[in-house]
């Protein structure tokens, strides 16, 4: 569940969001978008949690791979549906991961 990412530098896209109450096509589209993202060149993994607030972080090899995914046709449609139906508010932050460290028992 913690994404296995390579040695930095790499990129992270933090998508923090608050949902509306509209469920129409949401779950299936979210699942399809994660499947499509995983097929994109440069995709490294993702982490996603919701409990009222939703946070989904996707990890990418380069800025180019992030821009390609942002412009992918099905993803553009999902982004539009997101603004029209599924999200009350969201913020997307594009970041360069400079260093990381971890721990596992």
**Nearest approach, Cβ of residue 39 and a copy of itself (Å):** 23
Distance CA 91, CA 102 (A): 26
Distance CA 77, CA 70 (A): 11
Rank residues 25 and 55 by Cβ distance to a copy of itself and give the closer one: 55
- Using the rule CB under 8 A, which residue among 22, 38, 49, 67 binds a copy of itself? 49
Q: Which stretch binds a copy of itself (CB under 8 A): 9-17, 23-31, 34-42?
A: 9-17
The reply to whether 88 sits near a copy of itself by the rule CB under 8 A is yes
Which of 7, 28, 39, 105 contacts a copy of itself by CB under 8 A? 105
List Cα–Cα distances, 76 to 7, 17, 69, 79, in angstroms: 30, 17, 9, 5
| CA–CA distance, 17 with 89 (Å, rounded to integer) | 6
Interaction site with a copy of itself (CB under 8 A): 1-3, 5, 8, 12, 14, 16-18, 20, 47-55, 57, 63, 83, 87-105
């Amino acid at each position: 569940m913690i994404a296995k990412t390579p040695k930095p530098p790499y990129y992270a896209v933090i998508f923090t969001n608050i949902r509306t109450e509209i469920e129409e096509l949401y779950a299936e589209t979210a699942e399809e978008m994660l499947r499509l993202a995983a097929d994109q060149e440069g995709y490294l993994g993702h982490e996603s949690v919701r409990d009222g607030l939703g946070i989904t972080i996707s990890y990418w090899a380069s800025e180019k791979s992030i821009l390609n995914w942002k412009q992918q046709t099905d993803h553009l449609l999902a982004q539009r549906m997101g603004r029209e139906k599924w999200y009350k508010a969201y913020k997307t932050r594009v970041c360069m991961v400079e260093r990381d460290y971890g721990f596992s028992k």
